[in-house]
């Protein structure tokens, strides 16, 4: 991007800071998104494209797609934007819905009842002095699909999906984290209905007494944005995901912020069988007993199942290299690898059991206790 002065004073001050350290990826992204918001689309496009090469951030993806729609000439092929200097490839957005999510029936039903129905039928909800838009805190062991179901929730209501994480909000520049947090919510309000997703929210929404001076103002800004003013959070669904619910500040869990707290469990037996089947699709294999594999992987995460399938593929690939011919991934091999494997989330449940027994006055872990009873009965 060639150096230029901007009439907007704030934008020009950002330009000056950027030019002193153009290698700071976080600030480059912040500056580029501000250019986009101020309608400096051509300058924003080139910087955003550079950022997207190394950081597949959904806010950047959204901005690039929007710029393409605004700048593209009629008849231009979808997925690219023509520049005076070069053709810059743009990402294509894949929309997913609950139909793409294996299992999680209770979680999906809770989101349908409390979130999707109000979005689809606001006139009915309004009769009870309610409005669409609220917060959901999803917690559970790692690798069980919290991010995926958040994206699917956005797809169900045809909403924008705007994702952020602690790494995108922290900066060495004073006040930038708060401005970035505000910018995320402003973008969502402009594009409503929208889903704002914060992954690892315990990192930015942890107990404020234990946070450092850099993170604490970001948390305060998050609380301010979630409270909103003049109903400006209408048609916003704010989803936070965490593996460490005991680290999340109680202020975030009060009514009016994260109104619904959902435990996202490991996949059930039917979902596990489906996950094995999906991960083996397109690979050369014989008749695999997916039900047997599901029986052997109680309390395994979706990531664990993907890992088992990858190991089986790798072993069979090596065999094919040695034999010089295509080899089929066998059901026997899948069972052998599964028998040698271990769930990666057992330690998480061991930790949660202590909270259930000694620190569950709020009832936060009741859903986990019910799940563990179900698993015990299944075994």
Decide if 9-89 and 269-340 have a common fold: no
Please determine, for residue 178, whether its predicted confidence score (pLDDT) is greater than 80: yes
- 10 Å CB burial of residue 263 (0-12, 13-18, 19+) is buried
The β-bridge relationship of strands 160-164 and 87-89 is unpaired
At 289 the pLDDT is: 95
Please determine, for residue 90, whether its predicted confidence score (pLDDT) is greater than 50: no
* Angstrom distance (rounded) from CA 175 to CA 217: 8
Query: pLDDT tens digit string along 326-335?
Result: 999 999 999 9
At 83 the pLDDT is: 36
Q: What is the mean pLDDT of the chain?
A: 82
Please determine, for residue 82, whether its predicted confidence score (pLDDT) is greater than 50: no
* Angstrom distance (rounded) from CA 201 to CA 260: 15
Residue range 3-16: mean pLDDT, rounded: 78
At 169 the pLDDT is: 76
Kindly report the CATH class assigned to 9-89. Answer: mainly alpha
Task: State if pTM tops 0.85.
Answer: no
Provide the CATH topology of domain 269-340: Helicase, Ruva Protein; domain 3 (1.10.8)
At 126 the pLDDT is: 73
Which of 36-40, 222-226, 313-317 holds the top average pLDDT?
313-317
Q: What CATH number matches the domain at 98-263, 2.40.110.10, 3.40.50.300, 3.40.50.720, 3.40.190.10?
A: 3.40.50.300
Q: Where are the domains of the chain?
A: 9-89, 98-263, 269-340, 346-378
């Amino acid at each position: 991007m060639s150096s230029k002065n901007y009439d907007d004073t704030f934008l020009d001050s950002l330009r000056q800071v950027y030019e002193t350290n153009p290698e700071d990826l976080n600030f480059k992204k912040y500056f580029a998104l501000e250019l986009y918001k101020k309608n400096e689309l051509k300058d924003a496009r080139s910087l955003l494209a550079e950022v997207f090469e190394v950081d597949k951030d959904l806010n950047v993806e959204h901005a690039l797609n929007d710029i393409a729609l605004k700048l593209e000439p009629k008849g231009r092929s979808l997925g690219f934007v023509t520049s005076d200097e070069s053709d810059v490839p743009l990402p294509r957005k894949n929309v997913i819905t609950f139909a793409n999510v294996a299992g999680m029936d209770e979680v999906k039903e809770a989101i349908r009842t409390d979130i999707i129905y109000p979005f689809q039928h606001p006139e009915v909800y309004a009769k009870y002095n309610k409005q669409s838009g609220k917060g959901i805190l999803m917690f559970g062991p790692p690798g069980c699909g919290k991010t995926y179901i958040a994206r699917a929730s956005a797809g169900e209501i045809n909403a924008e999906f705007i994702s952020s994480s602690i790494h995108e909000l922290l900066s060495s520049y004073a006040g930038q984290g708060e401005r970035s947090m505000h910018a995320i919510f402003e973008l969502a309000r402009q594009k409503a209905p929208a889903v704002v997703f914060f992954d690892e929210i315990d990192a930015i929404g942890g107990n404020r007494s234990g946070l450092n001076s850099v993170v604490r103002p970001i948390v305060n800004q998050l609380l301010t944005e979630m409270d909103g003013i003049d109903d400006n959070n209408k048609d916003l669904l704010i989803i936070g995901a965490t593996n460490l619910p005991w680290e999340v500040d109680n202020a975030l869990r009060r009514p009016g912020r994260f109104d619904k707290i959902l435990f996202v469990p490991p996949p059930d037996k039917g979902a596990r069988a489906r996950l094995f089947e999906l991960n083996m699709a397109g690979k050369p294999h014989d008749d695999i007993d997916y039900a047997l594999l599901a029986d052997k992987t109680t309390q395994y995460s979706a990531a664990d199942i993907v890992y088992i399938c990858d190991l089986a593929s790798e072993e069979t690939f090596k065999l094919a290299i040695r034999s010089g011919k295509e080899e089929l991934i066998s059901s026997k091999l899948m069972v052998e690898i599964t028998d040698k494997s271990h769930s990666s989330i057992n330690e998480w449940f061991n930790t949660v059991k202590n909270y259930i027994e000694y620190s569950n006055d709020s009832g936060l872990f009741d859903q986990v206790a019910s799940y563990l009873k179900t698993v015990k009965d299944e075994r």
